[in-house]
């Protein structure tokens, strides 16, 4: 199995449980936590998040299925976190979808229509009240939905890697450089040798073309978040608002912002 992000870790865990007598080898080019699964914004969202649809919800029949799947995903994730004692600041504190410009405000109105269509709860928060939530006057309006869960993604993904079943072996800092597909076995070459596997699962996200798939149709882009220094107590008091929150831009090309607890994971 190639790639130890959320996909590879989940697939390795489930395969190992389904086939307890087999050995699962999971190889990761970097250290676990350094890729997108560890450096994302940490929203485990319940609602459909279809940025291709004007109301973020899209087709209602599909949206209902996505909602159920996402909620099942949240439950499974919570079970893993609790069973393995993963300290990743998992908190069910919902999310703010926030807007500054006219385009974003129009998206919020459309999103509200989508949520009505899906019969999901929300709260539209105006400019005057927003500082009590986010401690800033920057946004003009926000749509709060209560079902999102926030995590510290790097701590989560590292915790999931540390708690893999015994029949999974994880090799970090092992980029696969070449692949030879055979009839009943595949040989993967890395800098220190090769791995021969009866079956190969690719969980390498946008790097599938290195393995011969979707040639010329994917362009990996690295867009990581940045973390401020820890705010002093005086700065936190001046900021105000809730101690823990996450805001997604209404306009998909805006910036996601989070306020996290002072204790680092
Ligand atoms: C800035 C940012 C913010 C995001 N915020 C959120 C969010 O809040 N909520 C959310 O749900 N999603 C978010 N996402 C999306 C989410 O991070 C991805 O959907 C998720 O990480 C995909 O997981 P994955 O395991 O499929 O792929 P990845 O996390 O990309 O893992 C693939 C792994 O494969 C490895 N790999 C690739 N090629 C090779 C090779 N040749 N040999 C060995 N290993 C290889 C890579 O090193 C990588 O670690 C965000 C993404 C970004 C970039």
Q: Are 117 and 48 in contact (CB under 8 A)?
A: no
The upper half-sphere exposure of residue 91, i.e. CA atoms within 13 Å in the direction of its Cβ, equals: 13
Q: Is 42 in the pocket of ligand 1 (CB under 6 A)?
A: yes
For residues 106 and 127, state if they share a domain: yes
Instruction: Report whether residue 175 contacts ligand 1, using a CB cutoff of 6 Å.
Output: yes
Range 70-86 average pLDDT: 97
163 and 206 part of one domain: yes
> Which CATH number belongs to the domain containing residue 179 in this structure?
3.50.50.60
168 inside domain = yes
Q: What's the pLDDT score for residue 223?
A: 78
Do residue 51 and residue 116 come from a single domain? Answer: yes
Does residue 248 sit in the same domain as residue 199?
no
The answer as to whether 264 is a domain residue is no
Q: Taking all residues of the chain, what is their mean pLDDT, rounded to a whole number?
A: 94
Is 52 a domain residue? yes
- Rounded Cα–Cα distance for residues 53 and 60 (Å): 11
- Which tens digits make up the pLDDT trace of 150-161? 999 999 999 999
Contact 209 CB / ligand 1 (< 6 Å): no
For residues 185 and 88, membership in a common domain is answered with no
Please report whether residue 190 resides in a domain: yes
Domain extent for 12: 6-36+155-211
Residues pairing with 189 in the sheet: 178, 194
Same domain assignment for residues 143 and 52: yes
The answer to whether position 234 is within a domain reads yes
Average pLDDT, integer, range 84-101:
96
55 lies in the same domain as 133: yes
Distance from the alpha carbon of residue 204 to the mean position of ligand 1, in angstroms:
8
């Amino acid at each position: 199995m190639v790639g130890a992000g959320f996909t590879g870790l989940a697939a390795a865990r489930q395969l190992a449980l389904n086939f307890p007598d087999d050995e699962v080898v999971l190889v990761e080019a970097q250290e676990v936590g350094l890729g997108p699964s560890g450096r994302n914004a940490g929203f485990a969202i319940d609602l459909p998040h279809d940025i291709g649809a004007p109301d973020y919800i899209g087709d209602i029949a599909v949206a209902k299925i996505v909602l159920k799947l996402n909620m099942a995903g949240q439950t499974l994730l919570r079970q893993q976190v609790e069973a393995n004692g993963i300290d990743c600041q998992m908190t069910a504190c919902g999310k703010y979808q926030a807007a500054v410009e006219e385009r974003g405000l129009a998206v919020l109105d459309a999103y509200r229509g989508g949520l009505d269509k899906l019969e999901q709860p929300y709260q539209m928060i105006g400019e005057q009240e927003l500082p009590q939530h986010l401690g800033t006057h920057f946004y003009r309006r926000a749509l709060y939905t209560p079902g999102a869960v926030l995590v510290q993604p790097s701590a989560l993904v590292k915790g999931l890697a540390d708690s893999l079943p015994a029949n999974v072996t994880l090799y970090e800092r092992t980029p696969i450089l070449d692949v030879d597909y055979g009839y009943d076995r595949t040989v993967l070459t890395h800098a220190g040798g090769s791995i021969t596997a009866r079956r190969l699962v690719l969980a390498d996200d946008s790097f599938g073309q290195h393995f011969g798939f979707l040639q010329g149709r994917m362009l990996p882009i690295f867009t990581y978040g940045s973390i401020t220094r820890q705010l002093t107590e005086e700065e936190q008091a001046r900021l105000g608002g809730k101690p823990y929150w996450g805001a997604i831009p209404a306009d998909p090309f805006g910036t996601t912002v989070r306020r996290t607890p002072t204790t680092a994971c």
